[in-house]
Amino acid sequence: MKNKKSRGIKNRDNLGWIFIAPFLVVFLTFSIYPVLRTLYLSFTDYTGFNQPTWTGLENYARVFKDKLFWEAFGNTLKIWGVNIVLQLGIAFLLTIVFSDIKYRMCGLSVFRALFYLPNLIAATSVAFLFKTLLDWKFGSVNQLLTGMGVVDAPIDWLGTPALLRTVVGVIGAWMWFGNSFIMLMAGVQGINGDYFEAAAIDGAGRWKIFGSITLPLLRPILLYVAITSLIGGLQIFDIPYLISLGQAKMTRSVNTAVMHLYNMAFKNRQIGYAGSLAFILFFIIAICSVIVYRLMYAKEVD
């Protein structure tokens, strides 16, 4: 008898493969294969049209010398800096307000939906909306500011590199603070209410409670929010790309790392090089994530 050890479909141990086969095939075809193919191409001079020839580490060496890439990476950090401070700042503030037992804020679910709303709008619409609002001559924002006498001359929001980067960061924060808020709020609601009550009875103030109870117990969620927004922030592409579409000078000032990659691959047809940019970016993000992880858990060990 070859009962249990038998191969093939009749063995119940092997049946599991059939059940996961649909997912596995899709996953291997559309996730694993492209990654491996990109890795291979990153060592070649592939243009999308030619037969790829092996060039070794040439592309990777070029990434480190590519001033445009590092300029773009710097832009990414500047945009992300504005974005993360605002996004987490607002989300935190709202979490404090909504979780305070003394305020007894009502309508949490309504506000949660409202705050999340910007995230549901397509990036294209958001970019177009802000482009219209911030138009130099005829945008509502400038008309409002000049009308109220806050500024004398209209501000060229989209034509001044530093301002444009800030604007893109703010748009990102506006789109994502609701998302962070929901996660932080869920974290707070997961904390046992007895702690807050006990602290309140002991006479702890609002800030004391926040610093000694909410924050420490919120750390796992905080870590998750920090790492996901780091990954998202370093890969930012849609808003800067759309808002600067067709305007060379603006493109340069909000040229992010992923935009640079995109331009190299699909505009300059250097797919091999773009592949190596993708992998370098992957390693940078991985290292940053590890650093964030270590930093936040190191505190817990203390």
Partner 1 sequence: MKIKKLLAMTLAGVMTLSLAACGNGKTDSGSNTADTNKADTPAASSTTVSDAPADGEISDRDKAVNGESLVIWTLADDLKQFAQRYTDQTGVDIQVEVIAPADYPTKLTSALGAKSKEVDVIVGEPQMLLNFFEAGFFSDLSALDADAKEQIVDYVYEAGKDENGVLRALSYQVTPGAIIYRRDLAKEIFGTDDPDKMSAKFKDFDTILKTAEEVKDAGYRIFSDSGNLRWYANAGSAWVEDGVLQVSDAKLGYMDAAVKLYEDELVAFAPEWSAAWYASMAGELPLNAGWSDLAEVSGEDMTQVFSYSLPSWGALIVRDNAKDNKGKFGICSGPCSYFGGGTFIGVSEYSEHKDTAADFVRFCTLNQDTAQWWLETSNGDVVSNKAVLEANKDFENESFGNQKTYEFYTKEAQNIDYSIVTKYDDTIGQFWGSSIEAIQKGDMTREEAIEDFYMQVEMTFPEITVNR
Question: Which residues here bind partner 1, judged by CB under 8 A?
Answer: 22, 25-26, 29-30, 47-50, 62, 65-69, 137-138, 159, 161, 248-249, 252, 264, 267-269
Measured from the CB atom, is 67 or 104 closer to partner 1?
A: 67
Residue 3 beta carbon to partner 1: minimum distance, rounded to whole angstroms: 28
Q: What angle do CA 155, 121, 289 make, to 5 degrees?
A: 85
Backbone angles phi, psi at 149, to 5 degrees: 75, 15
- Separation of alpha carbons 121 and 223, rounded Å: 26
Measured from the CB atom, is 66 or 238 closer to partner 1?
A: 66
Measured from the CB atom, is 139 or 187 closer to partner 1?
A: 139
Residue 263 beta carbon to partner 1: minimum distance, rounded to whole angstroms: 9
Residue 40 beta carbon to partner 1: minimum distance, rounded to whole angstroms: 16
Backbone angles phi, psi at 44, to 5 degrees: -125, 180
Bridge partners, residue 54, by sequence: 44
Measured from the CB atom, is 112 or 269 closer to partner 1?
A: 269
Measured from the CB atom, is 132 or 212 closer to partner 1?
A: 132
Measured from the CB atom, is 228 or 263 closer to partner 1?
A: 263
Residue 275 beta carbon to partner 1: minimum distance, rounded to whole angstroms: 15
Residue 67 beta carbon to partner 1: minimum distance, rounded to whole angstroms: 5
- As a whole number of Å, the end-to-end CA separation of the chain is 61
Comparing CA positions, the residue from 134, 146, 145, 155 lying closest to residue 244 is: 134
Q: What angle do CA 237, 164, 138 make, to 5 degrees?
A: 115
Residue 41 beta carbon to partner 1: minimum distance, rounded to whole angstroms: 14
Backbone angles phi, psi at 54, to 5 degrees: -70, 125
Neighbours of 215 (CB within 10 A): 12
